[in-house]
């Protein structure tokens, strides 16, 4: 699930994982995702809570409004640049 903030509202959106790595995740969702946007990813069964992510890229996939996006885990940003 993605938690997308817009103004003072936070809207949940279902998301499907397409691909995952140590530094990010590729998702499909019925949500307007824009590069540069910060959102939260909720993983089922993860006791650490929502992961703060940055939308790196996005693209429309289908005519029904579903899109794909590449999200970078922001908690790993420092580790990635050090390697």
12-27 confidence digits (pLDDT tens) = 999 988 999 999 999 9
CA distance 76 to 52: 10
Q: How many independent structural domains does the chain possess?
A: 1
Cα separations in angstroms, 45 against 14, 22, 49, 59: 15, 18, 9, 28
CA distance 75 to 66: 27
| pLDDT at site 46 | 80
- Please check the confidence at residue 10 and state whether its pLDDT lies above 80: yes
The sign of the dihedral angle between the CA atoms of 81, 27, 48, 4 is positive
Q: Which two tokens stand for residue 29?
A: 């969702």
Interval 37-42 mean pLDDT: 92
Higher model confidence: residue 60 or residue 40? Answer: 40
Q: Which domain holds residue 6?
A: 2-82
Confidence class of residue 72 from pLDDT cuts 50, 70 and 90? very high
């Amino acid at each position: 699930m993605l938690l997308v903030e817009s103004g003072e509202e936070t809207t949940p959106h279902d998301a499907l994982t397409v691909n995952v790595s140590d530094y990010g995740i590729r998702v499909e969702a019925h949500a307007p995702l824009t590069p540069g946007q910060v959102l939260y990813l909720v993983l089922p069964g993860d006791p650490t809570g929502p992961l703060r992510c940055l939308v790196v890229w996005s693209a429309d996939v289908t005519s029904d409004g579903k899109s794909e996006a590449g999200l970078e885990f922001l908690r790993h940003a420092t580790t990635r640049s050090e390697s």
